[in-house]
Amino acid sequence: MKNISKEEKDYLSEKGKISNDKIVFDLSGNNWQFEGIRPDEGVKIGFHELNFDITGDSFNWSFAKVPGDVYTDLWRAGRIEDPHFGRNSLKAKWVPENEWWYKRQFDVPKEMYKKHIQLVFDGVDYACDVWLNGKFLGTHEGMFSKFKFDVSDTIRFESLRFGTNVLMVRLHPAPRRYSQVAGRKPAWHGDYWVSLPPTGIWKPVRLEATGKVTIEDTYVKPTILLEDSVRLGIELELLNHDSIAKNVIVKVEVEGENMDTKTYEITKFIAVTKGTNSVALSLDVNEAKLWWPWDLGDQNLYTAKVTVTEGEALHDTTSTSFGIREVKMELNPGFTKDQVENPWTVMINGKRHFMRSGTWGGPPDIFMGRAHPSKYKELIRLAKEANFNNLRIFGWHPEEIPLFYQLCNEAGITVWQDVLPLASLSLPKDEEFKQAVYAEAIASVKEQRNHPCIVLLEGSEELFMTASDPKHNLEFVNGLGEAIKPYTSLYFIPSSPLSDEVGLNLGFKPNESFHANDLFYGEGEFVMEDYFPSLDYAVIPELAISSCPNVESIKKFIPENEIWPPGPSWGHHWTDFDALRTLNFEVLGDQSRDGFEKFVEATQIAQGVIFQYALEHFRTRKPKTSAICICHYITFAPDMKWGIVDYYQEKKMSFNHVKKAYQPVLFTMKHYDRRWLPGEEFKGELWIVNDYYKSFNNCKASIKFLDKAKKVVKEEEFDVSEISGDSSKKFFDVSCKVPGKLGDKFYVEMSLVDDKGNVLSENDYFLLVSDKTIDKKELREIGLEAFEIKQKYGWANYFRYYPSLGAEEGHLEADQKMPVARGFE
């Protein structure tokens, strides 16, 4: 410890008395300032030298909040317009051309005196330099890895009005090429966002004052011995910051969170040398309460409190939340090893976990300063309301903040996690890049691995299908799997999909995993009842259909004069008008272009009907298929694209279709056509899928067929003697003479109740009275027209919908009004 000044001595009112507690001082919050400047200019003019006695140099800096991001701070300060509104994001493209300096001035608690003090950053996006009181502490790159600095000799203990310690963080200009930072930062572009690369201090910052031996990592590995007897393997990483070896006592106490269980503990005497020390302990827990997904059991959680002492002096203490559960993988029945070689069935505590999943297109906002905890809580609540039991974080998105995983732990929603964001690119081939990504992956896995919700790991998303060198990418992600293997017992899949054309050329088996997106991208080439039953895969990690957000949500991010007819801001927010009108026609028999509310509603119904049909089909394939994932559940910006819950946490109509399709007990009617001629005999099959392990006996099933006026034309009831646990089975054939005339709809309503009259499942459908042959021809014509437009103007260029923006002859006039989308005039 440095010599202290008279002012510091005066500040320490209890001079000489050393606290025996670990002191954590949170530097997060609103007491930050920030300013931007051209790259490399900040150090030249001495931003890093700002001190507590010259605060006038930063009086004109704007206020900021940490955790957060630069764009949100600029927006709050009035320096940019809301990037989510209209096409404002394009006006903010100057932001990543600057470096951004963040300043935090503070006093420290006097109890930190004479302790070992570390400055801890949980995450900075993407790279930064750090100074404290004018002393350069270091540089860090990588969004996901925590980093620390020893500031024991740099902290000041004087007390002044605004604080005597000055922390300066220089954020490097945001990266502009994803390939250069892939794996350590997610892509900031894609088919629902394109404009701005996020940057900021996106996770908390704090000071930790401890003894010289700190607990750097705690890993609890449960092994189930008997039904309620568990052995906890506890792996600790201790760091001795002193040059002198120390004899310490390590104590681990395990107790249940919010449940009546006894406390288990183990104590061990350990000699720790300078540097990192690994400690392995074993603790048996009797009467253990296991953690389960919500449809298989309770979400019991435990806390492991670790304390390191030397004599009566405390060095460090931490608490780690974990769940007692075992995850094993099994091969999907029904496939040979020549068809599928990866085990895709997730077994939790010996029970099959069919994953009813959706891609978590998060965080709730691409700008972390707007991703408030309340949004996380609401979105996890809605996911459970929609009967999701799994969320997939794939390679377009970052790993999530601890709150997300804790909410999933508590809700019983499992997580299918890409280790790092690696998606749809050709990876650099230099060794330095590879090792940096692997190190980031190890740090990420160690940070997350105690969360019982995480059950399956993948290395990347669509990393082979568009790469110039897919073989190199495969070698890279295989190496990534080997790099993390010592740190986790979870199964690792290199990428998704594996069974597309490129994957087959790389040697993967033909029925592993497939992205069932051809209906969307096929521009009318397929219809759902022909397409989805043709797919024979162990898992479907992605199934994409787009729609518009709700009418009131659209009004929040589209300028009033562009709402209808749809102006260019629709295009900027990724409206694929051709895809939407094609899907509208397939599902409703009408492109629905003649009104704002009608068009929006039609897109949501189309998305919902297609999702429902596909999800119910793949669920009936259980156990041959073991997971189905819609793309997406949410997205992180307001858009006209994938989610079933929009950016404003509002449910689309498609939400309820997915909710029905994802009922744990699903009463479904398989039908291989949606269009039937008047008077034709409709035929369907009644199936029941049960994802519970509980069986149901002596149930009653009923089905009603209704005409366009919702008048019942046929009704039947059936006795169901037994519905086995963890099952999928066809029970009955049904038929009905198709009511109405061409252009009508007819409806089906179904109900399944148990022996006490409690509803186990309710479902409904609408079908079209139409000529399928004629409609398929018209659907294809709409699709071909859309294809020609894309070929002429570009697949990702929304100017194709706005002739005046495309500068077509006769459209560029001085008095041109607001452009509207082609075909929506």
**pLDDT at residue 792, rounded to an integer:** 82
pLDDT of residue 811: 53
CATH fold for domain 213-322: Immunoglobulin-like (2.60.40)
Which pLDDT tens digit goes with each residue over 63-113?
A: 999 999 999 999 999 999 999 999 999 999 999 999 999 999 999 999 999
CATH number of 328-662: 3.20.20.80
Q: Is the pLDDT of residue 19 over 80?
A: no
User: Residue 424, Cα to own-chain centre: how many angstroms?
Assistant: 17
pLDDT digits (tens, 9 = 90+) for 135-184: 999 999 999 999 999 999 999 998 777 789 999 999 999 999 999 999 99
The conformation of residue 487, written as its DSSP 8-state character, comes to: G
Name the CATH topology of 668-772.
Answer: Immunoglobulin-like (2.60.40)
**Residue range(s) of every CATH 3.20.20.80 domain in the chain:** 328-662
pLDDT range class, residue 17, cuts 50, 70, 90: low
pLDDT reported for residue 16: 45
The predicted-structure confidence for 712-751, as pLDDT tens digits, reads as follows: 999 999 999 999 999 999 999 999 999 999 999 999 999 9
pTM of the predicted protein model: 0.96
Query: So what's the pLDDT on residue 189?
Result: 84
Q: What is the CATH number of domain 6-208?
A: 2.60.120.260
Residue 817 has pLDDT above 60, yes or no: yes
**Residue the block writes with tokens 């969360």:** 451
Please give the pLDDT value at position 15. 44
Do residues 82 and 203 make contact, with C-beta atoms less than 8 angstroms apart? no
Q: Give exposure, 771-802, as e/b (b: 16+ Cβ within 10 Å).
A: ebeebbeebbebbebbbebbeebeeeebbbbb
Reported confidence tier of residue 1, pLDDT bands at 50, 70, 90: very low
Task: Tokens for 427, please give them.
Answer: 């990876």
Strand partners, 205: 121
Mean pLDDT of the chain: 94
Q: Is the pLDDT of residue 810 over 80?
A: no
pLDDT in tens, 318-328: 999 999 999 99
Q: Can you name the residues that pair with 712 across neighbouring β-strands?
A: 706
Reduced to 3 states (helix: H, G, I; strand: E, B; else coil), residue 417 is strand
Q: How confident is the model over 438-448, as a mean pLDDT?
A: 97
Q: What is the CA radius of gyration of the chain?
A: 29
Rounded to an integer, the average pLDDT of 231-256 is: 97
Q: What confidence tens digit (pLDDT) does each residue in 521-576 have? A: 998 899 999 999 999 999 999 999 999 999 999 999 999 999 999 999 999 999 99
Q: Tell me the pLDDT tens digit for each residue of 252-280.
A: 999 999 888 889 999 999 999 999 999 99
Mean pLDDT within 334-360? 98
Q: Which pLDDT band, with edges at 50, 70 and 90, does 814 fall under? A: very low
Residue 441 has pLDDT above 90, yes or no: yes
pLDDT per residue over 33-42, tens digit each? Answer: 999 999 999 9
Is the preceding peptide bond at 178 cis, omega within 30 degrees of 0?
no
Laid out side by side, the sheet with 229-240 consists of 213-226, 229-240, 275-285
- CB environment 225-263: b (16+ within 10 A), e (fewer): eeeeebebebebebbbbeeeebebebbbbbebeeeebee
Residue range(s) in the chain whose domain bears CATH number 2.60.120.260:
6-208
CATH 2.60.40.10 in the chain is located at: 213-322, 668-772
Half-sphere exposure (Cβ direction) of 175: Cα atoms closer than 13 Å = 21
